[in-house]
Amino acid sequence: QAVVTQEPSLTVSPGGTVTLTCGSSTGAVTSGHYPYWFQQKPGQAPRTLIFDTTNKHSWTPARFSGSLLGGKAALTLSGAQPEDEAEYYCLLSYSGVRVFGGGTKLTVL
Amino acid sequence: EVQLVESGGGLIQPGGSLRLSCAASGFSVSSNHISWVRQAPGKGLEWVSVIYSSGGTFYADSVRGRFTISRDNSKNTLYLQMNSLRAEDTALYYCAKIDYGEDYWGQGTLVTVSS
């Protein structure tokens, strides 16, 4: 089974920009992996921010965007807010089998 | 309104079996892809299994051969039969409807594998 890798932790200043990445042990991440990004805050169920690489939900703040960058899936946060402090998980699909990354703990400080 | 309600969790000894249920409302389980996702205490998310609308199923390596996902269309309910349980299966188990850009999660049911 593939291993999906994320930065364990990142820190961003309020108003700053940060990019979280999601890599695959099998090689470059492509749109065919249908990358998802989830946000999870303590005590809550996860919530989808981005699906199928770049698509946002109605509740996804405009400051979040998804892309493919350097062979990885990427989640960019532009203009970080204190409420963006959370755990972020990517999910990749491998012909039906899905694999989560280990998560990135994002601190806004 | 779409709702997913899990049940069936509890304390079980290593090697034991447990069946989780996920009662769905607001949509038909037979027409949708639905996943099981788990989260060990203080740990990250782990995808467990999915059943497609076609009936096709997929599993994580960590549970393949021990867990079976199924559904009862007449009860509009999803199941996860878990056999040969191990301590590392201890987690909060969510059912989730997250394909095609949807985002519905249950509240989770806690499974604790311990002697």
Judging contacts by C-beta atoms under 8 Å, the chain B residues touching residue A57 are 101, 103
The confidence band for B100, taking pLDDT boundaries of 50, 70 and 90, is confident
For residue A104, list its beta bridge partners.
A88
Count the helix, strand and coil residues of chain B and give each as a percent rounded to the nearest 5: 10, 50, 40
- pLDDT value at A1 more than 90: no
Spatial separation of the C-alpha atoms in residues B36 and B47, rounded to whole Å: 7
The confidence band for B79, taking pLDDT boundaries of 50, 70 and 90, is very high
Q: Is B109 within 8 Å of B93 (Cβ atoms)?
A: yes
Average pLDDT over residues B92-98: 97
Q: Which of A45, A87, A99 lies closest to B47 in CB terms? A: A99
Residue % of chain B over a pLDDT of 70: 100
Mind telling me how many Å the CA of B28 is from chain A's nearest CA? Answer: 21
Which of B:30-59 have CB within 8 Å of A? 35, 37, 44-47, 50, 52, 56, 58-59
Judging contacts by C-beta atoms under 8 Å, the chain A residues touching residue B106 are 45
Model pLDDT, residue B35: 97
* Mutation target vs B (from A51, A93, A98, A99; most B CBs, 10 A cutoff): A98
Judging contacts by C-beta atoms under 8 Å, the chain A residues touching residue B50 are 96, 98
Q: From edge to edge, which strands make up the β-sheet containing A72-78? A: A4-6, A17-24, A72-78, A64-69
CB contact under 8 A, B98 and A102: no
* Mutation target vs A (from B103, B104, B109; most A CBs, 10 A cutoff): B103
